[in-house]
Amino acid sequence: MPPENISPAFHSISCRGRLIDLSTPKIMGILNLTPDSFSDGGKFNDKNAALKHAEEMVNAGASIIDIGAQSTRPNAEFLTSQQEIERISTVISDIKKEFPEVLISLDTFLSETVKFGFDEGIDIINDISGGQFDEKMFDVVAKTKLPYILMNINQSYNEMHHKEFFPDITLKLNQYFSKKIKDLLQKGIHDIILDPGFGFGKTVDEQMKMIDEVQFLGFGEYPLLIGISRKSFIYKPLNKSPLEINGITQKLHLKVLRQGVKILRVHDVAEAAKTVDIYLNS
C-alpha cells in the first residue's frame, strides 16, 4: 500500500493567461446537459436548470465546472458535434458572465465542439478519448493553447467499455500516457492533466488497484484528475445505487488526495469540499 500524506508535487496550469496553482486540490463540478446520463440525465438539460446548478456548485466550492452535452454511459446515443453545440447553446458564456472567476471545462471528444467552446470562453478541454475518436482533436487543442485533460480509454468509441484483463494496470496506464504525452508535446501542448479513466473498460479489481497506486501514474510529472463519482465499480459490488455511495466515495477521495491528486471531478461538490478540508487539515 502506498504511504499516506506524501509530499505534494507542485503543479500549475495556464488557462487563457491565468496561472492556476494546483498546490491546493481543486473541485470540478459535473454539469451534464444530457437527457440520458446514468445518474442525473435530464435534470440539467434545460438552460435555466443548468445555470442554477452551476451556481449551486460554485457556491458549494467548485472552482471548475465541467460541461458535457454527450452521455458516455454504455449504449448511449452518439451525438454529432452540431448536436452537442445545440445542447450547449449559450450555457458556457452565460456561466462565464455570472461567474467570471470560475474555470469552465468542456467535456467532449469532438474537435468542432472544442472550436465552439473556445469561442464561447472555455478554459480547459476534457477529452475522454485521448484524441482517438477524432483525428483532428490534437491539432485543434494545440491551436487553442488550452490545458488538455488526457484520459485513458480503449481505442475506439464502440469499444470504450470493453474490458480486457491486464496483469499490471498501472504499467498499462503509464505506457498509454507516455505515448500520448509524447504526441501532445510534439504538437506543442504542454499543459496536460492526466485522468486514468475510472469507469471505462476496466474491471472492479483493476480500478481498486488504481486507487491504491494512483501516486505512481505519470511518475509525478503531471497533475492528476480523478473521476470516481457515482461509478459502478463502487456501487455495484455493494448492491447500492449511484446515489447511495457518497460515504465510501469520500473515503476514496481522501485516499487519492493523500497520494497527490490535484483535481476531483464530482457530482456532490459540497461533500467533496468537506473531504478536501479534512485532507488539508490532517
Q: Report pLDDT for 13.
A: 97
pLDDT band at 252 (very low <50, low <70, confident <90, very high): very high
Specify the long-range contacts of residues 71-76, CB closer than 8 Å, at least 24 apart.
71/32, 71/34, 71/36, 71/37, 71/38, 71/41, 72/128, 72/160, 72/200, 73/36, 73/37, 73/38, 74/161, 76/36
From the list 208, 144, 222, 216, the residue with the least C-alpha distance to 180 is 222
Q: Is the pLDDT of residue 23 over 80?
A: yes
What sign does the CA torsion over 22, 267, 152, 105 have? negative
What would the pLDDT profile of 52-67 be if each residue is shown by its tens digit?
A: 999 999 999 999 999 9
What domains lie within the chain, and their CATH numbers?
12-280 (3.20.20.20)
Q: Report pLDDT for 84.
A: 95
Q: Report pLDDT for 8.
A: 55
Known catalytic residues?
A: 231, 265
From the list 128, 146, 129, the residue with the least C-alpha distance to 187 is 146
What would the pLDDT profile of 192-209 be if each residue is shown by its tens digit?
A: 999 999 999 999 999 999
Give the span between the Cα atoms of 96 and 61, in whole angstroms. 16
What would the pLDDT profile of 99-130 be if each residue is shown by its tens digit?
A: 999 999 999 999 999 999 999 999 999 999 99
What would the pLDDT profile of 89-106 be if each residue is shown by its tens digit?
A: 999 999 999 999 999 999
Q: Which residue has the higher pLDDT, 33 or 73?
A: 33
